[in-house]
Amino acid sequence: MFEAIMQVGLIIFSISLALCVWRALKGPTLWDRVVALDSFGLNLIGFIGIIMILQSTNAFAEVVLVLGILAFVSSVALAKFLERGVVIDRDSH
Amino acid sequence: MAFQILLNIVIAIFWMALQGEYTSVNFVIGYVIGLGVVYFLRGSLNETFYMRRVWAIIKLIVIFIKELVVANLDMIRIVLSPKLNVTPGIIALRTDLKTDWEITILSMCITLTPGTMTMDYSQDGRTLYIHSIHMNSTQEVIDDVRNNFERAIQEVTK
Amino acid sequence: MLSLIEILISIFVLLGSFLSLIGSLGIMRLPDIYSRMHAATKSATLGVVLLILGTFTYFLGEGIFSLQLLLTIAFVFLTAPVAAMIISRSAHRNGVELWGRTKHDELQESYPEHLEPERENEKVERP
């Protein structure tokens, strides 16, 4: 029973990951793709969380943390790059 | 404020030393006793009692969680309704908050609460530009933010 | 039968995955990037935080206090608004079209003359 509920969670997460990929492929502007990839990263964290419960292992805890950081940093870097063509600008806020 | 917390911890350690057992239970008991002592000493310390600030922070967190849940119910209603009834718009909000971190907290709260999202800030950082998804009237959105968050944040830093 | 803690975990997981699905549906359905950002930040953030709370509860039941998961929750809460602000600001500064029914745009009026982005009059094609 408990495992079945976790499987349902996995299926729902797979659907939502697929929707994110659809938007990333389709998106009319580049920024739509950035939003879709950001949300893809967040959903991936949840997916791995369920897998941690199913396999009853603590080994992916660091993976989850690093994925969260990477999703944030990569979407911010992409957005800044699209804004002016530079990622780190020193003389403005 | 820092001095009061330090005094409180010293009293707790002193209590543990008097008991002769260095356990976390004794530390907690000592800390609670220290709270009472600091409360009665607050007049001679020339500061307001620091638990009032802690209480204000707890109140801010409770408001934040409540608004986050309301925001999600709102989002469910928008997304699952067959017809899209959203009227977006961007408005400028002038805040009364002074320091940088107060404004940072305010903009985070705005982003995670129903129908509003911070988009940009002006050069001096005092005007926030908010994208709102229910734009019936500009004043309504501004009043909402003012009454909920600005007051709670001012309560913390007062 | 499910024990009490398993029921708690199941509620967390089902609510979390449902909210994530709402977030992704919102990204798919809403008309312009700024509205999509609403769905992406609010629903996806709370969904993932609930799910990680469920995972944390599971390991607490196994007797493991996993600090990394708590750190993840704090991190997601701190970074989601920042990412939303930076992405939408960069989109607006580069003249990404607002939806046709947007009421008014006070941010556009605040730009200085030389920085004003060009917005095309014709609509961006939509699916």
Q: Using one digit for the tens of pLDDT, what is the confidence trace for A36-93?
A: 888 998 899 989 999 998 998 888 888 999 988 998 999 888 888 887 766 655 555 4
Q: Say which residue the tokens 């196994």 belong to.
A: C62
- Identify the band that residue B52 occupies on the pLDDT scale cut at 50, 70 and 90: confident
Question: Which residue would you say has higher pLDDT here, B66 or B135?
Answer: B66
d(CA C44, CA B133): 17
Is B129 in a helix, a strand, or coil? strand
Domain assignments of chain B as residue spans, ordered by start: 2-41, 60-157
> Touching check for C4 and chain A: CB below 8 Å?
no
Give me B43's structure tokens. Answer: 């007049």
Query: Domain for residue C27, yes or no?
Result: yes
Q: Which one, of A33, A41, A71, lies nearest residue C91 by Cα?
A: A33
CATH-assigned architecture of domain B60-157: 2-Layer Sandwich (3.30)
Nearest beta carbon to residue C35 from set B69, B86, B127:
B86
d(CA B91, CA A28): 25
Give the torsion through C-alpha atoms of B48, B53, B55, B58, to 10 deg.
Answer: 180
- Identify the band that residue B23 occupies on the pLDDT scale cut at 50, 70 and 90: confident
DSSP β-bridge partners for residue B132: B89, B116
- Identify the band that residue B156 occupies on the pLDDT scale cut at 50, 70 and 90: confident
Whether pLDDT at A14 is above 60: yes
State the distance between the two ends of chain C, measured CA to CA, in whole angstroms: 46
Mutation for testing the C interface, residue in B61, B81, B90, B135 having most C CBs under 10 Å: B90
> Touching check for C50 and chain B: CB below 8 Å?
no
Query: Domain for residue C55, yes or no?
Result: yes
Is C44 in a helix, a strand, or coil? helix
Kindly list the residues from chain C whose CB atom is less than 8 angstroms away from the CB atom of residue A60.
Answer: none
- Using one digit for the tens of pLDDT, what is the confidence trace for C51-87? 999 999 998 888 888 888 888 898 888 888 888 888 8
Structural domain boundaries enclosing C30: 4-115
- Using one digit for the tens of pLDDT, what is the confidence trace for B27-48? 888 888 888 888 887 777 766 7
B43 DSSP 8-state letter:
T
B134 DSSP 8-state letter:
B
Q: Name the average pLDDT for chain B.
A: 82
d(CA B30, CA B14): 8
d(CA C28, CA C39): 10
Give me A68's structure tokens. Answer: 């969260």
d(CA C7, CA B81): 30
> Touching check for C89 and chain B: CB below 8 Å?
yes
Rounded to an integer, the average pLDDT of C94-121 is: 67
DSSP β-bridge partners for residue B93: B128
> Touching check for C35 and chain A: CB below 8 Å?
no
Q: Which one, of A12, A48, A43, A40, lies nearest residue A24 by Cα?
A: A40
Strand bridging mode B127-132 / B116-121:
antiparallel
What's residue B129's pLDDT?
Answer: 85
Range in B21-30, B65-74, B138-147, C7-16 the model is least confident about: B138-147
Question: Which residue would you say has higher pLDDT here, C114 or A21?
Answer: A21
Q: Which one, of B23, B4, B27, lies nearest residue B14 by Cα?
A: B27
- Using one digit for the tens of pLDDT, what is the confidence trace for B84-130? 777 888 888 888 878 888 888 888 888 887 878 888 887 777 888 88
CB-based contact B93:B142 (threshold 8 Å): yes
What's residue A88's pLDDT?
Answer: 59
Query: Exposure of A11 by Cβ count < 10 A (0-12 exposed, 13-18 middle, 19+ buried)?
Result: exposed
d(CA B73, CA A5): 23
Percent of chain C with pLDDT over 90: 15
d(CA B59, CA B54): 9
Give me B29's structure tokens. Answer: 């008991």
From chain C residues 57-86, the ones with a CB under 8 A of any chain A CB are 58-59, 62, 64, 66, 68-69, 71-72, 75-76, 79-80, 82-83, 86
Mutation for testing the C interface, residue in A19, A51, A87 having most C CBs under 10 Å: A19
Spatial neighbors of B46 by CB under 8 A, at least 6 apart, are: none
Read off φ and ψ for residue B89, nearest 5 degrees.
-175, 160
Specify the number of domains making up chain C.
1
Query: Domain for residue C120, yes or no?
Result: no
